[in-house]
Amino acid sequence: MPTTRYPWSAPRDIAPSEITPRAVWMRRRELLQAAAAAGLAIAAPRGSAQPADARKLPAKSGPYSTMEKPTPYKLITEYVNFYEFGTEKDDPPKYAPKLLRTRPWTVQVDGAVKKPRAFDIEELLKLAPLEDRVYRLRCVEAWSAVVPWVGYPLAELIKRVEPTGNAKFVEFTTLADPKQMPGLRSPVIDWPYTEGLRLDEAMHPLTLLTFGLYGEVLPNQNGAPVRIVVPWKYGFKSAKSIVRIRFVEKQPLNSWQKSAPHEYGFYSNVNPTRDHPRWSQATERRLGEDGLFTKRRPTLMFNGYAEQVASLYAGMDLQKFY
C-alpha cells in the first residue's frame, strides 16, 4: 500500500510538557498522600477480602505518563464494562467482588513460541519491576478517563517465551466460568472473550501487562488479577482476567468482531475521523468532569499517543483497517 501522510501523524499529541518530570513522578505517592490530607483522597477499594496493606503494589515511576488529573477511583471502579458480570455498568462492581476468585490463578502462554509454559500469577508479578503509569483511557462509547495503572511492558513476558518466526499475532483469552461470572448466561458474546494484537503492537513499550491501579492490586471488576492495557486503542481491546496468551500466525477473530463485525474492527485504534456506525467518535466526555454538565472535548488521534505509535500504521488506510 502507498504511504499516506496524515495531518495527525506529526509528533504533536503528547508534548514534552505533558510528560511527567521524573523528579515529580518519584514524589507521586508523597503528593497523593498530601492530597488525601486535604480532603481529596481516593475512595478505598470495595469488595476486598484482603487487609488494606496487602493490596499495595510497590512500583517505580514509569515512562509515558500524562500529567492530566487522574479520574476519581470511585468512578473507575464503579462505572465499568466487564460483560462477564453483566451488560450494565453497575453489574461488575455488584457481582465481581463477591464471585471472582483470583487465587490461585494461572496464565497459559503457548502457540508459536519456543518456550511455552504456564505462569502462576505470583510468578508473573515478579517477572519484571512494576511501574506506575498514568494513561488516558478511551471507551468506544465516547467517554474517557485518566487512570494510574501498575504493571510492566508485556514485551517482558513475550521475550521470555521466545516467539518463533510464525508468531505474527497475540491472542488473549479471558476466564469464562459460569459459577463466577453470571454474565456468561447472556448470548451477547460468543464466550470466552478473546482479543488480539499484532505482535509489534504487543511488543510496543506502551502495552502494559497490568496488575493494579492507583498503587493497589486490580479490583475484581477491573480485570483482576491480570489484564492488558493498550492506551492508544479503545478500552475493549484491553483484555481482562486473562487465562491464556497464545501466539498465532493468522489474525485472530476477536469477540466483538464475531458479534458485530460492521461495528468493531480488529485494530480498534482511537480515531476521531472514523465514526462508530451509531455515534461520532470526534469528541468525548471525560468521567468526573463537571458532573452532569461535562463538556465534550475533541478526541485525540491514537488517544494522544500518536508520537509513539503512528509509525506502526504507516501507509495503512485507517478507515478500512479500523
- Reported as a single tens digit per residue, the pLDDT across 184-229 is 999 999 999 999 999 999 999 999 999 999 999 999 999 999 999 9
Distance (Å, whole) CA 75 – CA 88: 14
Q: For position 292, what pLDDT does the model report?
A: 64
Does residue 322 fall inside a structural domain? no
Asked, for residue 2, whether it belongs to a domain, the answer is no
pLDDT in tens, 218-239: 999 999 999 999 999 999 999 9
Average pLDDT, rounded, for the chain = 87
Burial of 311 (0-12, 13-18, 19+ CB in 10 A): exposed
Is 318 inside a domain boundary? no
Q: Which phi and psi angles does 286 have, rounded to 5°?
A: -90, 120
Query: The CATH number of the domain where 192 resides is what?
Result: 3.90.420.10
* 319 within a domain of the structure (yes/no): no
List of residues 6+ apart from 9 with CB closer than 8 A:
306, 310, 314
Give every strand in the sheet of 169-174, ordered side by side. Answer: 117-120, 106-111, 242-248, 169-174, 194-198
Query: Which domain covers residue 274, as residue numbers?
Result: 7-313
- Residue 262 inside a domain? The answer is yes
What's the DSSP call for residue 71?
P
Condensed to tens digits (0 to 9), the pLDDT of residues 242-296 reads 999 999 999 999 999 999 999 999 999 999 999 999 999 999 999 998 766 778 9
Q: Give SS3 for 196.
A: strand
* Residue-level pLDDT at 53: 57
Secondary structure E strands in the chain: 60-61, 106-111, 117-120, 131-138, 143-153, 169-174, 194-198, 208-213, 216-217, 227-229, 242-248, 283-286, 296-298
Task: Say if residue 30's pLDDT is above 70.
Answer: no
Handedness of CA 245, 228, 176, 212 (dihedral sign): positive
69 located within any domain: yes
- Give domain status of residue 1, yes or no: no
- The count of structural domains within the chain is 1
